[in-house]
Amino acid sequence: MQTALLIEQILNGLQFGVMLFLMAAGLTLIFGVMGLINLAHGSLYMVGAFACATVAAATGSFWLGLVASLAAAAAAGALMEITVIRRLYERDHLDQVLATFALILVFSEGTRWIFGSIPLYLNIPPLLAGAIPLPGGSAYPLYRVAIIGVGIAVAIGLHLLITRTRLGMRIRAGESDREMIGALGVDIRTLYTVVFALGAALAGLAGAMVGALQSVQVGMGEPVLILAFVVIVIGGIGSIHGALVGALLVGLIDTLGRFLLPVALATFMGPSAAASIGASVASMLIYVFMALVLAIRPRGLFAAAG
């Protein structure tokens, strides 16, 4: 049973890491190309979750809700970039932090005004409602496996987009020398809007998929945003590869730490104390790991060149 439980926790860590990757990939693209610190990225995660829950409730189809989450988050991101963010590119990071923090308040209060303070709930689609058997006789929810699969597919898709397409070439050039690609005739404003909308859509997708595992409520994006920033610091700003590796590491360290530390501490202290101390220490592990990475590689594990 312990082996089956360990495998289950590893899968939980992978699923958590994939969700963080969907958030961090958009953040690292936006910062890498635009040099912008976007604290409102978690609000786009929330927009995707609310859009999915609303459309799924109205139509009875989780899949239509998923499409709506992508569209709503991308549209909200593009509108945000055109109306507010575009005015911040030449400002210092403190102005960007203050402006995007204000956007968090706008999104949160606007969402509360429209939907109220009562959480919404998403049902897992029947196609993914089953479970797969694990060694040891236990089972693991198929929906969580699907989230892992979606994350892997998105990672492959982003890799192909960045390395094999004209848009990816412009994104890479924008990370290295945005003034030069502007001088070569690339519409830098349109590029920025497209990149911002892409990052927003990924955040909305993460919110929609996680919404079926927990309640959809105002402010749900902020705790995830903090971890997404940890991921891009560990992986390296501007690196999709780094975001994937960093997210999986954070997911596994957090999940396995919360599982294994209380078990290890219980060998020489009482179960109650072991559970309490283990949970407290486990919550610090990812930040300790981030500090170690920065001490060895100050730019992150896979920092983008330029």
| Among 50, 47, 208, 200, CA closest to 125 | 208
Q: How far is Cα 295 from Cα 291, in angstroms, rounded to an integer?
A: 6
Altogether, the residues listed in the chain come to a count of 306
Which tens digit of pLDDT belongs to each residue from 98-118? Answer: 989 999 999 999 999 998 888
Please work out, in degrees rounded to the nearest 5, the angle formed at the alpha carbon of residue 107 by the alpha carbons of 105 and 108: 65
The arithmetic mean of pLDDT across residues 258-272, rounded, is 79
Which tens digit of pLDDT belongs to each residue from 150-181? Answer: 999 999 998 888 888 887 777 776 666 666 66
**123 DSSP 8-state letter:** P
Give the count of alpha carbons within 13 A of 166, CB side only: 1
Sequence ranges of the domains in the chain:
2-218
Q: Is there a contact between 204 and 73 (Cβ–Cβ < 8 Å)?
A: yes
Q: Is there a contact between 178 and 187 (Cβ–Cβ < 8 Å)?
A: no
Predicted TM-score (pTM) of the model is 0.88
Looking only at Cα atoms, what is the longest distance across the chain?
A: 68
Asked whether the predicted pLDDT for residue 8 surpasses 90, the reply is: no
CB atoms within 10 A of CB 227: 19
Residues 141-160 as b/e (b if ≥16 CB within 10 A, e otherwise) read bebbbbbbebbeebbeebee
Which tens digit of pLDDT belongs to each residue from 44-77? Answer: 999 999 999 999 999 989 999 999 999 999 999 9
